[in-house]
Amino acid sequence: MAQYYGNFSAKTAQETVVEVQTGGWSALPTTALEARNLVEVYNKGENKLYLSFDNTAIIKYRAAIGGGETKIFPIQDNLTLYGRSQGGGTRVIVTEYR
pTM value is: 0.90
Amino acid identity at 47 = N
Q: From 3.40.50.2300, 2.60.120.770, 3.40.50.1110, 2.40.160.20, which CATH number describes the 13-97 domain?
A: 2.60.120.770
Tell me the average pLDDT across 36-52: 97
Query: Mind listing the pLDDT tens digit for each residue in 5-16?
Result: 567 788 999 999
Report the alpha-carbon distance of residue 56 to residue 15 in Å, rounded. Answer: 26
- % of the chain residues with pLDDT over 70: 93
- All structural domains of the chain with their residue ranges: 13-97
Cis peptide before 74 (omega within 30 of 0): no
Look over the chain and give the mean of its residue pLDDT values, rounded to a whole number: 93
